[in-house]
Amino acid sequence: MGNMLKVLGIESSCDETGVALVEVCGSALPVLLAHALYSQIEMHQAYGGVVPELASRDHIRRVLPLTQQVLQESGRSLQDVDVVAFTRGPGLAGALLVGAGVACALGAALHKPVLGVHHLEGHLLSPFLSADPPEFPFVALLVSGGHTQLMRVDGVGRYQILGETIDDAAGEAFDKSAKLLGLGYPGGPALAKLAQVGDATAFKLPRPLLHSDNLDFSFAGLKTAVMMQAKKLATAQGCVVEALAPTVLADLAASTQAAIVEVLVKKSLAALRQTQLKRLVVAGGVGANRSLREQLNAECAKREVRVHYPELHLCTDNGAMIALAAAMRLQSGVQSASMVYAFDVKPRWPLDML
Whether 153 and 296 share a structural domain: yes
Whether 34 and 109 share a structural domain: yes
Whether 224 and 297 share a structural domain: yes
In a domain, 302, yes or no: yes
Tens place of pLDDT for every residue, the chain, 354 residues?
A: 457 999 999 999 999 999 999 999 999 999 999 999 999 999 998 898 899 999 999 999 999 999 999 999 999 999 999 999 999 999 999 999 999 999 999 999 999 999 999 999 999 999 999 999 999 999 999 998 889 999 999 999 999 999 999 999 999 999 999 999 999 888 899 999 999 999 999 999 999 899 998 999 999 999 999 999 999 999 999 999 999 999 999 999 999 999 999 999 999 999 999 999 999 999 999 999 999 999 999 999 999 999 999 999 999 999 999 999 999 999 999 999 999 999 999 999 988 888
Q: Which helix (H) or strand (E) is 226 found in, with range?
A: helix 220-237
Give strand pairing partners of 141.
150, 282
State the residue range of the domain holding 187: 136-309
Q: What is the CB neighbour count within 10 angstroms for residue 206? A: 15
Whether 142 and 229 share a structural domain: yes
Inter-residue contact 150 to 164 (CB < 8 Å) = yes
Task: Please give the pLDDT value at position 186.
Answer: 83
In a domain, 131, yes or no: no
* Interatomic CA distance for residues 9 and 318, integer angstroms: 9
Whether 156 and 248 share a structural domain: yes
Whether 141 and 32 share a structural domain: no
Q: What are 223-230's contacts with CB under 8 Å, separation 24+?
A: 223/168, 223/172, 223/173, 223/176, 223/177, 223/180, 226/177, 226/180, 226/181, 226/252, 226/256, 227/180, 229/203, 229/205, 230/180, 230/181
Whether 11 and 68 share a structural domain: yes
* 78-121 pLDDT, tens digit each: 999 999 999 999 999 999 999 999 999 999 999 999 999 999 99
* 231-254 pLDDT, tens digit each: 999 999 999 999 999 999 999 999
Whether 285 and 166 share a structural domain: yes
Q: Which helix (H) or strand (E) is 72 found in, with range?
A: helix 52-74
* Interatomic CA distance for residues 348 and 91, integer angstroms: 7
Roughly what angle, to the nearest 10 degrees, separates helices 246-275 and 170-180?
Answer: 170
Whether 348 and 278 share a structural domain: no
Q: What are phi and psi of 162, to 5 degrees?
A: -95, -30
Nearest to 129 by CA among 238, 30, 268: 30
Q: Which helix (H) or strand (E) is 277 found in, with range?
A: none
- Residue 182 belongs to a domain with what CATH number? 3.30.420.40
Count of domains forming the chain: 2
* Interatomic CA distance for residues 305 and 108, integer angstroms: 46
Predicted model pTM: 0.95
* 115-135 pLDDT, tens digit each: 999 999 999 999 999 999 999
Whether 245 and 288 share a structural domain: yes
Whether 217 and 343 share a structural domain: no
Task: Please give the pLDDT value at position 2.
Answer: 53
Q: What is the CB neighbour count within 10 angstroms for residue 106? A: 21
Task: Please give the pLDDT value at position 162.
Answer: 97
Task: Please give the pLDDT value at position 1.
Answer: 47
Whether 29 and 13 share a structural domain: yes
Q: Which residues contact 63 (CB under 8 A, 6 or more apart)?
A: 10, 12, 17, 19, 98, 99, 102
Which amino acid, one-letter code, is at 9?
G
Q: Which helix (H) or strand (E) is 103 found in, with range?
A: helix 93-110
Q: What are phi and psi of 141, to 5 degrees?
A: -105, 110
DSSP per-residue codes, 107-146:
HHHHT--EEEEEHHHHHHHGGGGSSS---SSEEEEEE-SS
Burial zone of 46 (CB within 10 Å; 0-12 exposed, 13-18 middle, 19+ buried): exposed
Nearest to 198 by CA among 176, 183, 217: 183
In a domain, 292, yes or no: yes
Q: C-alpha 48: how far from its chain's center?
A: 20
In a domain, 239, yes or no: yes
* Interatomic CA distance for residues 46 and 42, integer angstroms: 8
